[in-house]
A and B are shown apart, each in its own frame.
Chain A
Amino acid sequence: MLVRIISGDMPRSRLLSLIVLVIGFSLLFAPFLFPGIKSLDTAARIAIFIVLVASYDLLLGYTGIVSFAHTMFYGIGAYGTALALDAWGPSFWAMGLGTLLGALVAAVLALLIGLFSLRVRAIFFAMVTLAIASAFAVLVSQMSAFTGGEDGLTYRIPRELTPAFRLMTDKILDVSINGRLLAYYLIFFCALVLFLVLLRIVNSPFGTTLKAVRDNSFRAEAIGYRVIWYRTGATVLSAVVAALAGSLLAIWLRYTGPATTLSMEIMINILLMVVIGGMGTMYGAVVGATIFILAQTYLQDLMGIASKATDGIPLLSELIAPERWLLWLGVLFILSVYFFPTGIVGRLRGEVK
Chain B
Amino acid sequence: MTSEHPVLETRDLTIRFGGHVAVDAVSCAFQRGTTTAIVGPNGAGKTTYFNLISGQLTATSGKVLLNGEDLSGLSVAARTDRGIGRAFQLTNLFPSLTVRENVRLVAQARARRGYDLFSVASSHVELIERAEHVLAEVRLIEKADQTVAALSHGDQRKLEVAMLIALQPQVLMFDEPTAGMSVDEVPVVLDLIAGLKRDTDRSILLVEHKMDVIRSLADRIIVLHNGALVADGEPAEVIASPIVQQAYLGREPEEETVDA
- A226 in contact with B117 (CB, 8 Å): no
A222: B residues at CB distance < 8 A:
54, 56, 76-77, 80, 86, 88, 92
Q: Tell me if B94 and A203 are in contact (CB < 8 A).
A: no
Within 8 A of A (CB), among B146-172: 163, 167
Whose C-beta in chain B lies nearest to the C-beta of A213? B94
With both beta carbons as reference points, the residue of chain A lying nearest to B95 in the complex is identified as A215
Chain A residue nearest to B167 in the complex (CB): A223
Chain A minimum-CB-distance residue to B109: A224
Do B96 and A204 have beta carbons less than 8 Å apart?
no
Say yes or no: A206-B167 contact (C-beta < 8 A), given A211-B97, A221-B76, A224-B109.
no
Find out whether the CB atom of B120 lies under 8 angstroms from the CB atom of A216: no
Q: Of A201, A205, A233, which one neighbours B108 at CB under 8 angstroms? A: A205
Q: Does A225 contact B (CB under 8 A)?
A: yes
Q: Which residue from B93, B96, B101, B115 sits with its C-beta under 8 Å from A219?
A: B93
Tell me the smallest distance from the CB of A220 to a CB of chain B, in Å.
8
Contact among A4, A204, A223 with B117 in the assembled complex (CB-CB below 8 Å): A204
The answer to whether B3 has its CB under 8 Å from any CB of chain A is no
- 8 A Cβ contacts from A183-241 to B: 200-201, 203-209, 211-212, 215-216, 218-227, 229-230, 233, 237
Chain A, residues 5-47, CB within 8 Å of chain B (1/0): the string is: 0011000000000000000000000000000000000000000
Residue of A nearest to B110 (CB): A224
Most buried by B among A206, A216, A223: A223
In the complex, the chain B residue whose C-beta lies closest to that of A3 is B120
How many residue pairs between the two chains, A and B, have CB atoms under 8 Å in the bound complex?
100
- The 8 A CB mask of B82-124 against A (1 = contact, 0 = none) is 0000101000111111000100111011100111111111111
Measured CB to CB, the residues of A under 8 A from B are 4, 7-8, 200-201, 203-209, 211-212, 215-216, 218-227, 229-230, 233, 237
B75 at the interface (CB under 8 A from A): yes
**CB atoms of B124 and A205 under 8 A apart:** yes
In the complex, A212 Cα to B115 Cα: how many Å?
Answer: 13
Contact A215 B94 (CB under 8 A): yes
* Complexed CA–CA distance, A200 and B116 (Å): 11
- Residue numbers in A under 8 Å from B191 (CB-CB): none
Closest to A227 in B: B77
B116→A219 contact, CB < 8 A: no
Known: A212-B105, A224-B77, A224-B167. A203 touches B120 (CB 8 A): yes
B residues near A219, Cβ cutoff 8 Å? 88, 92-94
Q: How far is A208 from B110 in the complex, measured between Cα atoms in Å?
A: 15
Contact: A226 with B77, CB < 8 Å? yes
Q: How far is the CB of B51 from chain A (nearest CB, A)?
A: 10
- Pair A209/B108 contact, Cβ less than 8 Å: yes
Q: Are A7 and B110 in contact (CB under 8 A)?
A: no
23 A-B pairs with C-beta separation under 8 A? A8-B120, A200-B117, A204-B116, A204-B117, A205-B108, A205-B121, A205-B124, A207-B117, A208-B101, A208-B105, A209-B105, A212-B105, A219-B88, A219-B92, A220-B94, A220-B105, A221-B80, A222-B76, A222-B88, A224-B80, A225-B109, A226-B75, A227-B77
* Bound CA span A224–B106, Å: 8
Q: In the complex the two chains form, what is the Cα distance from A7 to B114 in whole Å?
A: 17
Which residues from B are CB-within-8-Å of A215? 94-97
- Once the chains are docked, how many angstroms separate the CA of A84 from the CA of B170? 56
Known: A212-B97, A215-B97. A207 touches B92 (CB 8 A): no
Chain B contacts for A212, CB-based, 8 A: 94, 97, 105
**Bound-complex Cα distance A206 to B95 (A):** 18
- One of B54, B56, B108, B163 near A208 (C-beta < 8 A): B108
Is B69 in contact with chain A by the CB < 8 A criterion? Answer: no
Q: Contact between B77 and A221 (Cβ–Cβ < 8 Å)?
A: yes
Please indicate the chain B residues that have their CB under 8 angstroms from the CB of A224 in the complex: 77, 80-81, 109-110, 167
User: In the complex, which of the residues B86, B96, B163, B167 has the most CB atoms of chain A within 10 Å of its own CB atom?
Assistant: B96
Do the beta carbons of B121 and A208 come within 8 Å of each other? Answer: yes
Task: Give the contacting residue for B118; candidates A4, A204, A208; CB below 8 A.
Answer: A204
Chain B nearest CB, measured from A3 CB (Å): 10
Known A222-B76, A223-B80, A225-B77; contact A206-B114, beta-carbon cutoff 8 A: yes
Q: Are the CB atoms of A203 and B122 closer together than 8 Å?
A: yes
Partner of B92, one of A218, A225, A226: A218
CA–CA, A212 and B113, complex, Å: 14
Most chain A beta-carbon contacts within 10 A, residue among B56, B75, B114, B121 = B114
Contact between A230 and B114, CB atoms less than 8 A apart: yes
